[in-house]
Amino acid sequence: MKYIGGFLELELPRGQGSWHPDAIALSTGRACLAAILRHVKPRMVRMPFYLCDALLSPVLEAGIRLEFYRLDEQLRPVRLRTPGPGELLVAINYFGLQAAMIRTFADRFGDRLVADNTQAFFEKPAPGQWAFYSARKFFGVPDGAYLYSAEALDLRPLPNPTSDIRHLVNRLVGRQQTGYRQVRRFEQKMDGRIRRMSVLSERLLSAMDSPEARRRRRENYRFLHRKLAKHNLFDAALPADAIPFCYPLLLDRPIDRWLLARHRLYVPTLWEDVWRRRTPGFAVERRFARNLLPLPIDQRYGPENMEDALQRLQKVVPLKRCK
């Protein structure tokens, strides 16, 4: 029963609705994968070695056999075999640049493919394909992920009790360090339980200016690529239909992120988990985890910010021609 009267709640515009109206709105990408595993009940899941441990947790917690496959220097699977009966293959659309590869896999593998589009929010899946997305990687929301199912799912997700916006508000008003400490604590509370997306995130996402976000991300990416392509060991050409997550600058050595942060350029690591695993081999993936700088290109920024970011980068990274 809806309350009538009393104090006013936070007012948010309803906007144009979700970019993924036909998807199931859950709390996290991990929850989406957990829902797929619970429905399909595979005997084995094959995943690329270059991914975060958070995505491994639904597989390990379900007691499902896990097998890693290798990637080449352009993050394409090496000698990828067709998944057999009772197997699922997870393929990641890295940086939002590999939609064509994912579509090819969808044609080959059908409903045995799970597309991880957490770095490709605006990409739509093929009909009848398992795919999931993360809103939090693209927009300032406390939680949010979308699941496309290859089959009808009987899901009764619980409410998400961990929704919190204090870190978002502090980032907005300029209290960066306070917000950073809060977001670290908030991240520790996030898990892979199958929960609904919060009402707050649903409303915020419905009001996002998606066309402007798409335009700015492509514009910022192209700006950095013009300046950095000759220094980049990764072929980061932007496909015509891609809306990127970041600009992936791969160097020939690791860079201390704290030195960048001293110049107020904050660049995450994708992912420390990779080089800490004791699994032998996977030299390419470990090199990406150590040497890749995923530079921010999101909709908060314009060309002047990208020029500023380049200047800050060059104070720490003496760029030399790599190609």
Q: What percent of the chain clears pLDDT 90, i.e. is strictly above it?
A: 70
Q: Using one digit for the tens of pLDDT, what is the confidence trace for 83-132?
A: 999 999 999 999 999 999 999 999 999 999 999 999 999 999 988 899 99
CB-CB neighbours of 44 under 10 Å: 15
Return the pLDDT at 173. 62
> For residue 192, is pLDDT > 90?
no
User: Which whole-number Å values give the CA distances from 205 to 67, 163, 198, in the listed order?
Assistant: 35, 14, 11
- pLDDT, tens only, 227-241: 999 999 999 999 999
CA distance 105 to 101: 6
What is the 3-state composition of the chain as percent helix, strand, coil, each rounded to the nearest 5?
Answer: 40, 15, 50
pLDDT of the residue at 321: 46
Residue 322 pLDDT greater than 60, yes or no: no
**Rounded Cα gap, residues 125 and 91, in angstroms:** 13
pLDDT at residue number 323: 43
Domains of the chain listed by start with CATH number = 24-201 (3.40.640.10), 210-316 (3.90.1150.10)
Share of the chain above pLDDT 70, in %: 86
Q: Residue 323 has which token pair?
A: 């190609």
* pTM > 0.75: yes or no: yes
* pLDDT for residue 224: 97
